[in-house]
Amino acid sequence: MSDLDPHLIGLLRRGPAPPTALDEAHRQAVLAAARQAWFRQRARNRRALAGLGIAAVLAAAIAGWTVRSLFEGPVLTSRPIVAAAEHTEERKLERPAAEARRQEPLDAPSKPMVTAVPTPAPAPATATPLAAKAMSADTAASNLADAATEMAPPAAERTDRLRAGAPAPAAKRDVGQHGRLIIARLVLAAARVGKLESADRRPALQAALDGLDGLSGAPFDDLRHELQAALLAP
C-alpha cells in the first residue's frame, strides 16, 4: 500500500548517486583531526596523572602528620612559634645563671653572700633580720647595725668558727648591689645623726663598708669614701 509506483522507483534509482568515499581534502582533515585529538587527550592524561601524584603525596604527608600528632602530641609547625621557641632555648643556653635565677621560687632559701672579706675589725655575731627589715620606715638603729653586720660577718669571727669546726652561718642573704648600697647609706645616715649607739657605730660602719667590696662605680666609690670618713671621725 505504501510502496511507490515502480516507474517512480526506477526514476529515483537513476537519481544523483551519493559519494562512496571522502574526497582527499576531507580525508586529510579527518586524519589531522585524529592526530590533534590524540595529542590533546595524551596531554590531558598526563596532567591528570600528575595531579593524581601530587594528591597522593599530599595525602601521605597529611596522614603522616596526623599519625605523628596522635603519637607525639601536637607538632609545632607555625614558623613564628618555632622561631620563638628556638630563640628562648638560645637565651637559656646563653644565660644559664639568669635563667636559673628567674626560675628560682621566691621563697627559696637565700644564698650566702660574700664569704671572704678581709675585715680586721670585730663585729657582733648576731644573726638578725634582713635588709627588708632595715629598709622599713621605722627602722631602729640597732636593726640597721644588725643588717649591716649580717651582710658580712667579721673575718675574725668567721675564722674562729672555722677553726672550731662550726658550720658557716647559713642565714646570710644576698640582698644585691642595690640592697647593699641602701643598707650602707642607711647606716651612714644613722651614724651621722647619732642614732647608732657608740658600741654599734664602728662595727656597723665597717660592715657597711665591707659590704661595698667588689662593687665599683660612682655611687659605690662615693659612699665608700663617706663611710671611711665616718669611721675616722670620732
Partner 1 sequence: MTLLRRYCDNGDDGAVCTIVERHQADLLRTAHAILGEAAAAQDAVQEGFVRLWSHATAVITGSGGRLSIGGWLCTVVRNAALDMVRRRSPAPLPDQVRQPTPPQGTPHDEAALLWAAVERLPDLERVAVILRYRDGMAYDEIGYRLGKTANHVGIILHQGVGRLRADASLAGIAP
Work out how close the CB of 46 gets to partner 1 at its nearest, in angstroms, rounded to a whole number. 14
Asked if 23 touches partner 1 (CB under 8 A), the answer is: yes
Distance CA 175, CA 123 (A): 19
Buried b (16+ CB within 10 A) or exposed e, 6-38: eeeeeeeeeeeeeeeeeeeeeeeeeeeeeeeee
Asked if 21 touches partner 1 (CB under 8 A), the answer is: yes
| Pair 209, 231: CB distance under 8 Å | yes
Asked if 178 touches partner 1 (CB under 8 A), the answer is: no
Asked if 1 touches partner 1 (CB under 8 A), the answer is: yes
Distance CA 123, CA 116 (A): 15
CA dihedral (200, 201, 207, 208) in degrees, to 10, reads 130
From 23-31, 46-54, 91-99, 188-196, span contacting partner 1 (CB under 8 A): 23-31
From 37-45, 69-77, 181-189, 221-229, span contacting partner 1 (CB under 8 A): 37-45
DSSP state of 205: H
Closer to partner 1 at the Cβ: 35 or 163? 35
Q: Kindly determine how many residues on this chain lie close enough to bind partner 1 according to the rule CB under 8 A.
A: 34
From 34-42, 49-57, 115-123, 215-223, span contacting partner 1 (CB under 8 A): 34-42
Q: Under the rule (CB under 8 A), what is the footprint of partner 1? A: 1-5, 7-9, 11-16, 18-23, 26-27, 29-31, 33-39, 41-42
